[in-house]
Amino acid sequence: MSLIKSVKEIDLMRASGRIVGDVLKYIKEFVKEGVTTAELDEKIEEFILSHGGYPAFKGYGGRLKFPASSCISINEEVVHGIPGSRALKDGDIVSIDIGVKKDGYFGDAAYTYEVGDPGQKKAKLLKVTNESLYKGIEQAIPGNTINDIACAVQNYVEGSGFSVVRALVGHGIGKNLHEEPAVPNYYSPENKQKLYCGMTLAIEPMVNYGTHEIVTKKDGWTTVTKDNEPSAHFEHTVLITEGKPEILTNIN
């Protein structure tokens, strides 16, 4: 499979990415105290289907299929939280990760929302994580490598006193939800993949308040911080162009 997407493929990814961005913008008003994560997931699925897409996460996986249309992770939950009966509380931070498939191509993005007043500690974590995403996106230009993205994220996050998750990484995306290359948020001598126009990447810093270490819960999906400190997650699907990178999942 080629890492470089054709003009037609890019147009199809713009369409799926637009739905992702729109649903993340739409769901914000419902992220409030008392709402359950299952209720949020139901609204997300309805929005995706009504806009001609399909929720890419639903049924995803091998033997253990993901059962919902979105991953909703609260506080110490890093990613892959399964929506259910848990109600949001004032002070929570809620990461919502959404994938959409439309006409055979995927878009993928995530945003971490505040419920009421999360306090200075969590607010700073969200600010730094979101800013680190854009630091990484700035490096998604022809001639750079995956390490340029990774180092931009890592340096900003660790310079702010937080840690990047190492057990989970970003990825290429297109006709498949997860494609090559892997896009870590930390430096590795193996991250030598050069970047070219037409590549599409899901760049997604997952940032922890404390240790970078995570564990997976008994449900087989939900990952949490090992030290039970909060975590934030922001993600965009990005197209590498001859100029500035194009965000295909823009929320604005």
Q: List per-block mean pLDDT (blocks of 10 residues) for the chain, which spans 252 residues.
A: 90 98 98 98 98 98 96 98 98 98 98 98 98 98 97 98 98 97 95 95 98 98 98 98 97 84
- In this prediction, residue 252 carries a pLDDT of 76
The predicted pLDDT at position 190 comes to: 85
Q: Other C-beta atoms within 10 Å of 7: how many?
A: 8
Alpha-carbon distance of 118 to 93, in angstroms, equals: 7
Please tell me the predicted confidence (pLDDT) of residue 195. Answer: 97
Q: What is the DSSP string of the chain?
A: --SBPPHHHHHHHHHHHHHHHHHHHHHGGG-STT-BHHHHHHHHHHHHHHTT-EETTTT-SSSS---SSEEEEETTEEE-PPP-SPBP-TT-EEEEEEEEEETTEEEEEEEEEE-S--HHHHHHHHHHHHHHHHHHHHT-STT-BHHHHHHHHHHHHHHTT-EE-SSS-EEE-SSSSSEEEEE-SS--TT--PBP-TTBEEEE--EEESS-S-EEE-TTSS-EEETT---EEE-BEEEE--SSSPEETT---
Other CB atoms within 10 Å distance of the CB of residue 116? 12
Q: Which residue do the tokens 């190492």 mark? A: 166
Whether omega for the bond prior to residue 55 falls within 30 degrees of 0, making it cis, is no
pLDDT for 1: 53
The model's pTM is 0.97
Q: Which domains does the chain have, with CATH numbers?
A: 7-247 (3.90.230.10)
